[in-house]
Copies of this chain bind each other. A is one copy, B any other.
Amino acid sequence: MIRIGVDVGGMTTKAGCVDEKGTIFGKVSCDSNPKRGYEALIKDIAELARESVSKSGLAMSDITSVGVGIPGIEDAARGIVPFCTNLYWHEVPLRGMLSRMLEKDVYVGNDATVAALAEHKVGASAGANSSVLVTLGTGVGGGVIIDGKPFTGAHGVATEIGHTIIKFDGIECSCGNRGCWECYASARALISFGRDAAREHPQCMIAKSVNDIDEISAKTVIDCAKAEDPVAVKLFDDYAFYVAVGLVNLINTYDPDVILLGGGVSHAGEFLLEAVKEKLAPLIFFKNMKWAELMLATLGNDAGIIGASMLEA
């Protein structure tokens, strides 16, 4: 069974033909260029799908269904994307339009949810009954799988885990609230903490390793912490704690079998994983019971295409 997966981002849209093992064939992409309006982008999505099929040496008749991951949510009952900020979408009938263009069943899911689905089917959490993928990227996103299926809540707005509040009088978030998890655990937060530290400690390795404070990236901070620069070590220690606070909230609500860390910051690999595990253990409520196994996501950017292809009714 071959299905098409499409990963629509604010910058780039990617598509591929995917088999049941999660292997991608005929990967293609185009600029999303969302400002031109949704009709043009949906036309391009259909075009990409056809291109991927032909690049894979297949025919459209070989394709079972088409799944699309978007940086937003679908109102499944109406088959409408009510809004999608990064795409400038408002009330877009994605499913119906694409389904007519390709003459296939089309399924639409949130990008973090489909990435979680991919990891759950063929990635790091394969075999678990329930899992949560936490993406530590520009923001903090999440996808939740319960009983092997994407969990999206009653109104499709579940799993906005980046906007769970971990300090109600904390840092101001772009969403209007204070103290959202992503204000402390995103790559953006880590960068901002790193730049503040460099300003405060101009002699620290973080400051010394760049020409301009604005060049400090998440990787700069992580590399300096790995090199045991005291300022960076303290900063990364605090960061790991912030990640762990949000994770313990997920454990105290979803109690999943597995939690995966993905997104840009997760490229720090075991260094991140071990730091977060150390902070998480003392925060666990039932310390003498088993709790979620914390692991790194493994599918990287391909999770979007793979997971989208695995969407079902």
User: Chain A's interface: helix, strand, loop or mixed, by majority?
Assistant: loop
**A83 in complex: contacting residue of B161, B257, B288, B290, CB < 8 Å:** B288
For residue A158, CB closer than 8 A to chain B, the reply is yes
CB pair A285–B175 under 8 Å, yes or no, is yes
CB-CB contacts of A266-286 with B at 8 A, as 1s and 0s?
000000000000000011011
Kindly state the separation between the CA atoms of A161 and B131 in the bound complex, as whole angstroms: 18
Q: Which residues does chain B contribute within 8 Å of A73, judged by CB atoms?
A: 286
Among A32-40, A111-119, A162-170, the stretch that binds chain B is: A162-170
Given known A164-B252, A248-B165, contact A257–B154 (CB-CB < 8 A): yes
Distance, CA A285 to CA B174, complexed state (A): 11
**Which of chain B's residues have a CB closer than 8 A to the CB of A152?**
255
Inter-chain CA distance A257–B158, complex, in Å, is 11
Smallest CB separation, A268 vs chain B (Å):
21
Q: Mark A95-128, 1 if CB is under 8 A from B, else 0.
A: 0000000000000000000000000000000001
| Shortest distance from the beta carbon of A303 to any chain B beta carbon, whole Å | 21
Does A255 contact B176, Cβ atoms closer than 8 Å?
no
- A256 touching B154 in the complex, CB below 8 Å, given contacts A282-B176, A288-B83: yes
Residue of B nearest to A170 (CB): B167
| Least CB separation from A253: chain B residue | B253
Task: Tell me how far the C-beta of A218 lies from the nearest C-beta in chain B, rounded to whole angstroms.
Answer: 21
Interface size class of A (residues with CB under 8 A): 35 or more
**A282 CB to closest chain B CB, in angstroms?**
7
Contact A130 B156 (CB under 8 A): no
CA A177 to CA B282, docked complex, whole Å: 8
- Known contacts: A154-B130, A156-B289, A292-B154. The answer to whether A165 contacts B249 by CB under 8 A is yes
A255 to B255, CA, bound (A): 16
Which residue of the partner chain B has the closest CB to A151?
Answer: B146
Shortest distance between the CB of A141 and any CB in chain B (Å): 12
A residues near B (Cβ < 8 Å) are 73, 75, 82-83, 128-130, 144, 146, 152-161, 163-170, 175-177, 179, 241-242, 245, 248-257, 282-283, 285-286, 288-292
A-B contact pairs, 11 of them (CB 8 A): A146-B146, A153-B254, A155-B255, A157-B286, A158-B255, A163-B252, A165-B166, A165-B245, A166-B166, A168-B242, A175-B285
Using A153-B255, A167-B167, A177-B248 as known contacts, list a sample of 17 further A-B pairs with CB atoms less than 8 Å apart, ordered by residue number in A. A129-B154, A154-B255, A154-B292, A156-B289, A157-B285, A158-B255, A161-B252, A163-B252, A165-B245, A165-B248, A165-B283, A167-B168, A167-B170, A168-B242, A168-B245, A250-B253, A253-B253
